[in-house]
Chains A and B, each alone.
Chain A
Amino acid sequence: MAQLFPKHHVMGFIFSLVLTVVAMAVVVYDLSYTAAMAILLITAFMQAGVQLVMFMHAGESEDKVTIYTNVIYMVFFAIVTILGTLLLFIWDM
């Protein structure tokens, strides 16, 4: 019976519901811009992680290393681009 119960999917489903509700707080309550953006950023990245691990099964197949290498590489490139652009246009303009 234990094998039949889709534990991962149910957990993923609950996680994503919780994260959505937390993100909802930004709209419902009157938060400052900084707090609202912080909440949104954190929940968005956690949401993406939940999707990747729970539903898209990263880490379950033999390609585990390849998939995570890809993800890390992608995140590295995105962060470099965004931080570099912020540095050029806002922090040091």
Chain B
Amino acid sequence: MEFFERFAVPHPSFAIYASMVGIALTSLAIVVGLTYFKKWGYLWREWITTVDHKRIGIMYILAALIMLLRGLVDAVMLRAQLAIPDNTILDSQHYNEVFSAHGVIMIMFMAMPFLFGLMNIVTPLQIGARDVAFPRLNAISFWLFFMGAMLFNIAFVVGGAPDAGWTSYFPLASEEFSPSVGTNYYMMSLQLSGLGTLMTGINFLTTIFRMRAPGLKLMQLPMFTWAMLVTNVLIIAVFPLFAVALAFGAMDRMFGTQFFTIGNGGMDMMWANLFWVWGHPEVYILILPAFGIYSEIISTFARRNLYGYKSMVASMVAITILSLVVWAHHFYTMGQGVLANSIFSIATMAIAVPTGIKIFNWLATLRKGKIEFTTPMLWSLAFIPTFLIGGVTGVMLAMASADFQYHNTMFLVAHFHYTIIPGVVYAFIAGLIYWWPKMFGFMLNEKIGKVSFWLVAIFFNVTFFPMFITGLDGQARRMYTYSEETGFGPLNLIASIGAIGLALGFIVLAYNIYWSTRYMPRNIGSDPWNARSLEWSIPSPVPVYNFATLPHVKSSQAFWDAKTKGHNLFPDKVEEIHMPNNSGVPFIMCVIFFIGAFSLIFDMIPLAIASLIGVFACMAYRSFEANHDHGYHIHVKEIEETEERLRGANK
């Protein structure tokens, strides 16, 4: 009986039991629905086994939107608890679990897949490639991420959710102080998705270096692709380190090693150190793609080419390097001396310089532009002032001596939401709306889109601005309650009302997707925004082979120059195209990974070993398969017919 008791939730509540029922019913409904509509084969052939970067990108974005919903529900629960003093909606244990889940899900399972989704769909199209460098690896990346995310999401109904925060600091996260399996879930699910992230980084860096269209030089890459290039460099630098830190932490908890223990030669602070050596570049892994997205959108809708291309690239490279040398600003108060804090303090403030250059470049691009206020442009314009508030409060926090006052207060919470929400969420939503027609062949409704924009843009400030004030007054973060005498009540109530508005904004966004899928017209042409880069030169939605013939590129905005100056982008004749085969192996391998990780979490070693063998068997199978799996060819006639059909329908 003891064996099964481990799977019970250690601290249950009505909400958790209700979730169990909800999850069971939803899963059942999905299975029944797929069987009833006979969609299993379609799902397997077209999606699960796919190696097409566009489909993988769509799956990433779908997963990200679902995780956005989950993270949003967590956030609303947190704000509900904090709305009035001495509230009792959540007890302390549940509050800990919910804020841990909110942080991990929003960063690792919402922002990261959203980034990879856009990266998958757009990068190969912007450089004129037919797929990524390693299509099969790309599928493995996605399924590893997906399995990691699912593993994290079942934690709260099977065995108990992690409750040590998204940073999961030791010694709190050690076996001694967090005895439930929750933190094991944290270690293993991030390990899986981190592995996928590292593979994506290698894959896309190779793609950008090796698979550019004829004539496309590095200094002519569209700004989004440049952002992806530096992002992937950062991923390759820091994710191996995170994998090692997670492995140490997992071994401490599962096998009794002593890396992060207090005694026995271990060093608990080393976890915080390693976590932030990864964690700080990680936030730049999220923000740099956003800078790329804004550059594309602002230049498209200001109808001007991007101001200061070279300084944009240089500032991104500078941010990349600086982001590697600032991590200690997350723990100024840990006990190191003034010298160390001063060095990291100055390095941190230095980041404001290249970021400022980028802000001024965007403003200069807007200057004298014929600005069109489309929805993606609205998100981008709202980003600039909002992010600026986040940025300048960041400089305040960077001052080590002052930080002793702000550390772990709501001021910090307000600061990083002011950077991450405009910097990442606005950007990815803007990018999603901007590239939506390229993915699906219809646009999202502008009117509904603007409603959701205004809801989010207004209520974001209502939610997070009060936290600056309560934080300066001393309200600590991660505290599940506060007394009435503190006087935090009214401002917290305002913040909670804001959270409802914010949630409403995202619901309208989801409704927009539903409405547009049903009612928006399908014949929109290949270039609905009158945009500048190569992805708009091919039909929407994009055919499986992307480019019938490879484009010949002469400038950084090849498609714009082709439109305005009349270059011929596609001088070549159509030839047979060689494409990679679909494969079920990545999915099967990642399911085995999932089983292995799950069995490690619950200390079922034989099953874990069996899974490891299974993973190696999948790799061995691939090695032998590679001898006879040569992909397939699309014939000239078929390409010409497809092009005729897609372009004809669009005109």
How many Å from the CB of A86 to the closest CB on chain B? 10
A87 / chain B contacts, CB cutoff of 8 Å:
336, 339-340, 343
Q: Dominant SS at the A interface? A: helix
How many Å from the CB of A74 to the closest CB on chain B? 8
Which parts of B287-327 form the interface with A (CB within 8 Å)? 324-325, 327
Query: CA separation between A41 and B324, bound complex, in Å?
Result: 24
A84 / chain B contacts, CB cutoff of 8 Å:
277, 325, 327-328
Whether A92 lies near B340 (C-beta < 8 A) is: yes
Whether A81 lies near B277 (C-beta < 8 A) is: yes
A89 / chain B contacts, CB cutoff of 8 Å:
267, 269-270, 273, 336
Whether A88 lies near B336 (C-beta < 8 A) is: yes
A73 / chain B contacts, CB cutoff of 8 Å:
233, 237
Whether A85 lies near B337 (C-beta < 8 A) is: no
Query: CA separation between A84 and B330, bound complex, in Å?
Result: 14
Known interface pairs A73-B237, A77-B237, A81-B241; A88-B325 also in contact (CB < 8 Å): no
Question: Which one of A66, A85, A92 has the highest number of Cβ atoms from chain B below 10 Å of its Cβ?
Answer: A92
Residue of A nearest to B325 (CB): A80
Whether B324 lies near A80 (C-beta < 8 A) is: yes
The reply to whether the CB of A93 lies closer than 8 angstroms to some CB of chain B is yes
B237 / chain A contacts, CB cutoff of 8 Å:
73, 77
On chain B, the number of residues with a Cβ less than 8 Å from chain A's Cβ atoms is 21
Question: Which one of B237, B334, B338 has the highest number of Cβ atoms from chain A below 10 Å of its Cβ?
Answer: B237
| Contact surface of B with A, Cβ cutoff 8 Å | 209, 233, 237, 241, 267, 269-270, 273, 277, 324-325, 327-328, 334-340, 343
B277 / chain A contacts, CB cutoff of 8 Å:
81, 84-85
Known interface pairs A77-B237, A92-B336, A92-B340; A85-B273 also in contact (CB < 8 Å): yes
Query: CA separation between A77 and B235, bound complex, in Å?
Result: 12
Give 20 A-B contacts (CB < 8 Å), ordered by A residue: A73-B233, A73-B237, A80-B324, A81-B241, A84-B277, A84-B327, A84-B328, A85-B277, A87-B339, A88-B328, A88-B336, A89-B267, A89-B270, A92-B336, A92-B337, A92-B338, A92-B339, A92-B340, A93-B336, A93-B337
- Size bin of chain A's contact surface: 10 to 19
B325 / chain A contacts, CB cutoff of 8 Å:
80, 84
Q: Beta-carbon contacts of A4-32 to B below 8 Å, as 1s and 0s?
A: 00000000000000000000000000000
Query: CA separation between A73 and B328, bound complex, in Å?
Result: 21
A66 / chain B contacts, CB cutoff of 8 Å:
209
Which of B267, B324, B343 is A77 in contact with, Cβ under 8 Å? B324
B336 / chain A contacts, CB cutoff of 8 Å:
87-89, 92-93
Given contacts A84-B277, A88-B328, A89-B270, 20 further A-B contacts (CB under 8 A): A66-B209, A77-B324, A80-B324, A81-B277, A84-B325, A85-B270, A87-B336, A87-B339, A87-B340, A87-B343, A88-B273, A88-B334, A89-B267, A89-B269, A89-B273, A91-B339, A92-B336, A92-B337, A92-B340, A93-B337
Query: CA separation between A4 and B241, bound complex, in Å?
Result: 43
A88 / chain B contacts, CB cutoff of 8 Å:
273, 328, 334, 336, 340
How many Å from the CB of A40 to the closest CB on chain B? 21
How many Å from the CB of A22 to the closest CB on chain B? 30
How many Å from the CB of B171 to the closest CB on chain A? 16
Query: CA separation between A66 and B209, bound complex, in Å?
Result: 10
Query: CA separation between A89 and B272, bound complex, in Å?
Result: 12
How many Å from the CB of A63 to the closest CB on chain B? 10
Which parts of A45-83 form the interface with B (CB within 8 Å)? 66, 73, 77, 80-81
B270 / chain A contacts, CB cutoff of 8 Å:
85, 89
The 6 closest A-B pairs by CB, nearest first: A92-B337, A92-B340, A88-B336, A92-B339, A87-B340, A77-B237
How many Å from the CB of B227 to the closest CB on chain A? 18
How many Å from the CB of B229 to the closest CB on chain A? 13
Query: CA separation between A24 and B164, bound complex, in Å?
Result: 46
B340 / chain A contacts, CB cutoff of 8 Å:
87-88, 91-92
Residue of A nearest to B347 (CB): A84
Question: Which one of A77, A87, A88 has the highest number of Cβ atoms from chain B below 10 Å of its Cβ?
Answer: A88
How many Å from the CB of A43 to the closest CB on chain B? 25
How many Å from the CB of A71 to the closest CB on chain B? 13
How many Å from the CB of A83 to the closest CB on chain B? 10
B233 / chain A contacts, CB cutoff of 8 Å:
73
Residue of B nearest to A83 (CB): B325
A93 / chain B contacts, CB cutoff of 8 Å:
335-337
How many Å from the CB of A23 to the closest CB on chain B? 25
A92 / chain B contacts, CB cutoff of 8 Å:
336-340
Residue of B nearest to A87 (CB): B340
How many Å from the CB of B585 to the closest CB on chain A? 29
Query: CA separation between A80 and B338, bound complex, in Å?
Result: 19
A85 / chain B contacts, CB cutoff of 8 Å:
270, 273, 277
How many Å from the CB of B322 to the closest CB on chain A? 11
How many Å from the CB of B623 to the closest CB on chain A? 22
B269 / chain A contacts, CB cutoff of 8 Å:
89
How many Å from the CB of B387 to the closest CB on chain A? 27
How many Å from the CB of A68 to the closest CB on chain B? 15
Query: CA separation between A73 and B335, bound complex, in Å?
Result: 30
B337 / chain A contacts, CB cutoff of 8 Å:
92-93
How many Å from the CB of B184 to the closest CB on chain A? 26
How many Å from the CB of B326 to the closest CB on chain A? 9
Query: CA separation between A77 and B324, bound complex, in Å?
Result: 8
A91 / chain B contacts, CB cutoff of 8 Å:
339-340
Query: CA separation between A84 and B328, bound complex, in Å?
Result: 9
Residue of A nearest to B281 (CB): A77
Query: CA separation between A76 and B243, bound complex, in Å?
Result: 19
How many Å from the CB of A79 to the closest CB on chain B? 11
B335 / chain A contacts, CB cutoff of 8 Å:
93
Question: Which one of A66, A77, A89, A93 has the highest number of Cβ atoms from chain B below 10 Å of its Cβ?
Answer: A77
Residue of A nearest to B328 (CB): A88
B209 / chain A contacts, CB cutoff of 8 Å:
66
Query: CA separation between A88 and B340, bound complex, in Å?
Result: 6
A80 / chain B contacts, CB cutoff of 8 Å:
324-325
Query: CA separation between A84 and B338, bound complex, in Å?
Result: 14
Query: CA separation between A92 and B336, bound complex, in Å?
Result: 6
Query: CA separation between A77 and B281, bound complex, in Å?
Result: 12
Query: CA separation between A84 and B327, bound complex, in Å?
Result: 9
